[in-house]
Structures are given as structure tokens and as C-alpha cells.
Structure 1
Amino acid sequence: MSVQGIRFDEVKVGDALPPLVIPVTVELVVAGAIATRDFFPGHHDLAAAQKLGSQHIFMNILTTNGLVERYVGAWAGPEALIGSVKIRLGAPNYPGDTMTMHGEVSEKDEAAQTLSVAMRGVNSMGDHVSGTVKLLFAQGALA
């Protein structure tokens, strides 16, 4: 991967994205909730989260979605547009854990100039997130 991102013509199905390790901190969880205007107490209030049966505050889906876009978008670079993000949540992301993002090119459409990336974010309890990100490249984005 270069600083400029990938070149569509050099990518093939099965290519792996480099892993990205994301420390899950109280600051990340709370800042993500605030930035997405999600004031649900489980994302910032430890006592409220524990009252709900959670061991700690937990990351919201909008923060997870942003981290997925960051991971795939940074790999793809500025020539790609994110066309769609389809994710499923699994194990919660709690502060003190680490989530490692993994991805692989799962589809390539030469005619439409699109790539699909199958990805997952794994923490100590298993998959926090899994899904697919579709990328559009210049010619495909303008069509």
C-alpha cells in the first residue's frame, strides 16, 4: 500500500488489506458517541451501562461504521469513493480491549470499476463487526 492508496488495475480478488489495530479507550467510545450525537447512557455512563447488564460502556454502531470506513478508505486512497457499507455488530467493544480490523478484496467488477471488500473487526470476545464495503473508482463513480 502506498500513501496514495491502491491502483484499481493492480488489485485482484483475494488481496488482503493490512490489519489495523485500534485500542478501544473510554475516550474513543465517548467521543464517538458525542460526535454522532448518540447520548444513550450505555455509551458514556458506566453505572447506567452496568445497570443494563453490560460490563462497561460500549461503542455505538455509528463509531464502528466510521472506523470501518476509515480502515477501507485509507487503504483504497483518494481515487476511491465509498459506495456502500453493510455491517453487522457482534461482540461489544469495551474500553481496555483492542479491535483488529482485517479485510480482503471479495469482488472486482472491471466494467463498473468497483471493488467489494469483506471485512471484520475482532476483539478479545470475537467479531465486533463484520460486513462488506463497496468501493467506486473514478470511471465507475461517474457512470
Structure 2
Amino acid sequence: MEKTNISKFIIVIILFAFISSCTTKTNNSKMIVEITTYKAAENVTHEEILLASKAFNKNYCSKCTGLISRQFLKTEDGYMDIFVWKSKEDVERVQKTFMQDENAMNFANLTDSSSLTMKNYEVIESVEF
């Protein structure tokens, strides 16, 4: 090979290696958004829910494998949690153990369980702006 062709060949290999290193690895598991709505239990104040939410984040959510984020919202008549999970398997694992976790139950006990709704949605596209 000529020196020019060898140089071009090396450049192509370097570019290929660079492009390959920039490729994002795909995961077969789809991210899940879990939306939970609820009201405070009788005689529980907004301030008590806020304090309990902070403790829930620190003592429970921060330790949940696969949990990406939690948004805690005030609705017209209660509260909403929006959890973003790495996979359906992560959600299912937590749902199986939630009721046995003391830190999770400390928060759950301040909510009106009869008002609870929970739905999971598969993320098909996520864009950050």
C-alpha cells in the first residue's frame, strides 16, 4: 500500500473507533413512569406530609434500585408522585417489598389508602430540553 492509502486507512479506523465509542448501548428494558395519586389521611397536615416526603426520599427512595427520580406534586385535592424507573422489573421488585419496609410505611401511613390510585406507563420517548 502507498503511504497515502495507509494514512487514509488509519484515519478510517480511528474514526470508526471514535464513532463506536460514542454509541449508546441500548437496554431491552423500557423505562417506566409510575404515577400515584392520593390524599392525606384524616387529621394529617400538609406540613406533616412534606416532612414525611423528605424522610421518604432519604430513607427509602434513595435506596430503591432502578429508581431514577421522584417528583412530589400538590394537586387540587391531594398529592401526586411521579416516579421514573429504569425498568418494569425494578418497579415490580419494589412493589413486592414496599409494604414490608418500615421507611416506606412511615410515609404511606400518612396517606388515605382508599384514595390511592397507581398507574404505570412505558416510556417510548424521552427528550430533555
TM-score by length of 1: 0.24
TM-score by length of 2: 0.26
User: Greater relative contact order (Cα 8 A, min sep 6): structure 1 or 2?
Assistant: 2
Q: Which has the higher helix share?
A: 2
